[in-house]
Structure formats: C-alpha cells, structure tokens
A and B are shown apart, each in its own frame.
Chain A
Amino acid sequence: MSFNVPDDLRYLDTHEWVRQDDDTATVGISDFAQDELGDVVFVELPDEGDELTAGTDFGVVESIKAVSDVYAPVSGTVTAVNDDLIDRPELLNEDPYGDGWLLELELADESELDGLLSPDEYSDQIA
C-alpha cells in the first residue's frame, strides 16, 4: 500500500508534516499516520498563543486503537488551531493534508525546517 507524501511539505520521523508559508507554518499528521491510527475519535490541541518547542509534544490524537502524542516539527507561537476537529475528528482520516490540519505557528527559527525529513526521506522511512 502506498501513502500520499506531498512534495511541498517537510516531515518529522514521528509522522507530523509542516507546510511553510513565509513566516507561518501549518502542522498536521501524515497519511501514513492516520492510516496506522485508524478511525480518529478525539483530538486535543494547544491554545492560541501557546509557545511550542521543536521536538516536544503539543497535543494528543486518539483513535479506537491508540492514544498518541503529536510533536512539534518546529518551534513557534500558535496562531490558529483547527477547531473543526473537535466536532469532526474524522477530518484527520479523510483529509490529513487539507481540512485535517492541526494548527498554525508563527515560526521562531526558519532554519529548523532544514533539519526535517524531505518527502523522499520520509517516503523511505515508511516504505
């Protein structure tokens, strides 16, 4: 089974993705991650204004199979969280790179993105 790994994103080995748009970064979990988790039933996210540190956990994704921490690919201040996930956690399964996004950050250090996995490297990891 092959999974969708969009070319324009960077990845964390714990299966989060990040999309950069100038000094803003959008964060979510990968297609592979949502498939491994199975049906997501609950998502816990930080508040706007919270400071995240790269590599540390910022929230929880719960499926019928497992409860998993999610990790910040980069450091920064939370500028938006996806409130739609509260009522519709299934968005994470249906559209992990679109409507199932988790949060937006104001990047603290753009260079942190360079340390993340490229789409090819991430594809190799989940192969």
Chain B
Amino acid sequence: MASFFFGRTRTRTNAIDLPRQAKDHVTKLEGPAGAAKAEELGKVLSQMKFILQGTHEAEVSPDQMYQLVMGVIEEDLLYLLAVNLHRLPFESRKDTQVIFSYVFRFRPPTASPKSEPVALKYIIEQRPQVLVELCKGYDHKESATPAGSVLRELIKSEAAAAIILYDDGDEPGSSAHGLMAIDRDRLQSGNGIFWRFFDWIDKGSFEVAADAFTTFRELLTKHKDLVPRFLHVNFELFFDKYNHILVQSNSYVTKRQSIKLLGEILLDRSNYNVMTEYVDRGEHLKICMNLLRDDRKMVQYEGFHVFKVFVANPNKSVPVQKILIMNRDKLLTFLSQFLEDRTDDEQFIDEREFLIKQIRSMPAQPVPSQR
C-alpha cells in the first residue's frame, strides 16, 4: 500500500512539475542565459513528450497524462510555447509540436469520446490567443512547419476554425473574447489573423507559403456551415484579396494552387450562394479569362476549371453574358485549340466541348437572367 502511494505521488509531482519548469525556462529564453535555458527547456519538453506519447516499448499512463495536461493549462504553457516556438531549438520545436497534438487530443478516461478534449475546450472558450499565436508561427521560417501542423489538427474542430476566421482584435464580435462572443454577421475589418494568411501565402518563403496555404485550404474547405456564411458576409473583402493577392501572385505555386482552390470553393455544394454571387461578376470572369492565356499551361488548366463555372451557369448575369458574347468567336477558336495535348484527359475534353457548345448557343445579345 505504501509503495503504491509512493509511486503515485512521485509520478504526479513529476507530471505537474514539468509544465512549471517549462514555463520557467520559456519566459527566460530571451534573457542573457537564453541558450542555457533553451537547452534545459529542451530536456523538459522531451520528458513531456515521452509522458504523452510513450515509446514503442512503454505505454502511457493516463493518470500522468491527465496531470500533465492540467498543468500545461494552468501554467498557460500552450500560449507561451506558441509565442516562443520560433525561438526553440530544432528538436524542441518538433517536441513542442508533438506535445501540442497530444495535449489537444487528450480526454480524461472518464469523459465521453465525443466530448471536446479539455485543452481544446479551454483555448476555444478562454484562451483563443493560443490559436492566433500559432498562426503567427508563419512569421518565422523556423516555426512555420510545427505551428502549421498543430493548426491543421486544431482546425478540424469547427470551433477552432471559427476562432481563426472571426478573430478581429478588440472589435466587438471578435473571437478574441471567446467563441460565444463571435458575431458572424458583422463585417470583418480585415485586420484579424485570418487575413494575414494572404500575405504569408503570397510573400513568405516557399516553405512558409506552402504550409500557410495548406492550412488556409483546410480552413476554407473543412466546415460546411461555418465557411459559406463567413464568405457570404465577407464576400467583398475575401474575394478582393483572393483575386488580387493570391490569384495574381508572383509565386507560381501560390497562383496555381489558389486558382485550384478557388474552383474547389466555388463548386462546393455548400458554397452555392457564394458561387452564384461570384460568377455574376464580369470582373471575375475577366480575371479568369486572362488566366486561360497565362503562358504556363497548368495555370491555364486550373483557370479553365474556374472558367467553366461561369459558362455552365444557366443564369449568367448580363455583364458575364456580354463578355462572353463579345468574345464568342475568339473564345470558340481559342477553346477548340485549348490545351489540345491533353488527349488522355477525357473529362477535360468533355468539359471543353460542353463549354464550346454553351458559348456557341448563347443568344446574340445578353438576356437578363430569369432567376
């Protein structure tokens, strides 16, 4: 009996102590003894990792995990680590990533498997800044990858995704005041953390931009209730930035991927209203048609998959009809030769034929939409 208590007490102390030690070190990273602190922090973090993850040989103890997770929350370590992620040494950044992913998945053994993991619930309701700081991981090359993979796991939760989408500093209705405070019908100022993704994707180094884009894509495609509403309310701001920063990006990868994502967003059933609004604009069609003539054929190809939505729309707006009609002959010639070498892409060929038919059968003058 005594040994039972002894063992229990010891492990508990250890698991509780680690977050406190980590906090101690992490707050002194910038001081004169930064390097030494970083090393000590590294040791603590790797111990924490082993408690949470176990090894191939050793199983984890749910009891210890619980202690650790509670300690991490109490010491506000999630926030501190998120803020300092780029300052950590190489291995510690990876350990931190592992710690985050385990902490955010942890449920007490007694809790229902459907309940929100404790740490996740905590940051969503009381500490949304953790999510914001994780996003800011894209400010640094060092932290981009670990922060990004933690983020992508977190935004599987709709609430976490909402926090990021609706962060708007101290504005009323911003997620900075917690999930419940979000006002989904308020126009975003554009200063929230979500809008910074555009810059990270456009201007970041390849690694940063690529990771940021992956997260951005997840944010915009995972949640079929949240995102359509967000896009509907913030349509102008979102597509202004999207069309001018991402689609026109200097980076080939950003350009190509964002055109593709645009197609995915527009064709997602849940975004129907956003799609109809998008394809009504002549300006959008023009951007798209210019993509068809980009000198890089994969850009043309991805552009085609957006273009087809405009043409296939049975209720084309007058401006869209006008542009198509004005360019009818050019378009027909162009499309008949467009990416001719994709001979083994049957779907593409079918779609191209369909577009040609549609454009050919358009009336001579725009007809106001009947819907």
Indicate, yes or no, whether A interacts with B.
no
- Report which A residues bind B (CB closer than 8 A): none
- Report which B residues bind A (CB closer than 8 A): none
